[in-house]
């Protein structure tokens, strides 16, 4: 119960890493505010959270809508009077070779993976500063450090997210607010479901992961909870790779 009486916002909580993270916080006593654009799936997450007996509020909207973000933060403050932890998980992938990318694709991917993360932090940080405490965890990717085939814009967006994390950590280091990132490797989620459905392709990745398996959303959730907890009270500006050792072989 590390997070009893804490208020946690998790974006992109309808499934995958976001859902696993929200459930992990609920299991440890936190009150949750969850967001996603997929209302049906988000409702399923809400039901799962309530099974733990913890309080939860949900908001369905496009994470790029600044006014909706501000309204969600205001609603959270009205309901709980505080925001202790923000997990920026909402994101979108890309599998498109660079010559066939378009400016619209750039705007969409950078808008969700970059600008929306900035907007969420910008909306929440003043509330945390008023309380002289808070923890932000941004979900980035090992692809923010290593280029992937047909992922040029995704690489750029996750690289930007990593540096945004470090910039916020440096600016807020004296305020009691910590900002860190978790960089997942190959994780079994909706974004990778089709890819890992191919046994040959899955085996190819598993051969390149020292731990010999693809990760689970719960693996990422555990890292998020650690960085959000008092156990990480002297950690800020860090990016924790959770990849089964995959980047060891890439170096």
Strand partners, 57: 33
Angle at 61 between CA 4 and CA 42, to 5 degrees: 55
Task: Tell me the three state secondary structure of residue 11.
Answer: coil
Phi-psi region of 29 (alpha: psi -120 to 50; beta: other; left: phi over 0): left
Answer for the pair 3, 28: CB distance below 8 angstroms, yes or no. yes
| Catalytic residue list contains 15 | no
Q: Which of 37, 80, 154, 234 is catalytic?
A: 154
Hey, what are 40's tokens? Answer: 């049906």
**Residues 6 or more apart in contact with residue 46 via CB below 8 angstroms:** 34, 56, 58
Structure-token match 């995704």, residue found: 154
Closest CA to 3 of 25, 23, 20, 34: 25
List the alpha helices (DSSP H) in the chain: 16-27, 39-50, 66-80, 103-110, 116-131, 152-172, 193-197, 199-207, 217-228, 246-250
Helix (H, G, I), strand (E, B) or coil at 123: helix
Residues noted as catalytic: 154
């Amino acid at each position: 119960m590390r997070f009893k009486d804490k208020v946690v916002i998790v974006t992109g909580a309808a499934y995958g890493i976001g859902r696993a993270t929200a459930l992990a916080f609920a299991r440890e006593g936190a009150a949750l505010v969850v967001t996603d654009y997929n209302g049906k799936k988000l409702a399923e997450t809400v039901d799962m959270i309530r099974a733990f007996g913890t309080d939860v509020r949900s908001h369905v909207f496009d994470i790029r809508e600044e006014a909706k973000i501000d309204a969600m933060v205001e609603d959270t403050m009205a309901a709980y009077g505080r925001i202790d932890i923000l997990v920026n998980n909402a994101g979108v992938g890309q599998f498109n070779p660079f010559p066939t990318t378009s400016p619209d694709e750039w705007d969409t991917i950078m808008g969700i993976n970059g600008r929306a993360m900035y907007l969420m932090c910008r909306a929440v940080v003043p509330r945390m500063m008023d309380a002289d405490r808070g923890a932000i965890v941004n979900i980035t990717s090992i692809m923010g450090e290593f280029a992937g085939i047909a992922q040029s814009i995704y690489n750029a967006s996750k690289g930007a997210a990593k540096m945004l994390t470090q910039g916020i950590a440096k600016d807020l280091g004296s305020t009691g607010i910590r900002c860190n990132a978790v960089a997942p490797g190959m994780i079994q989620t909706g974004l990778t479901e089709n890819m890992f459905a191919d046994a040959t392709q899955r085996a190819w990745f598993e051969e390149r992961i020292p731990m010999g398996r693809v990760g689970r959303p719960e693996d990422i959730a555990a890292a998020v909870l650690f960085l959000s907890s008092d156990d990480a009270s002297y950690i800020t500006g860090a990016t924790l790779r959770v990849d089964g050792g995959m980047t060891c072989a890439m170096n």
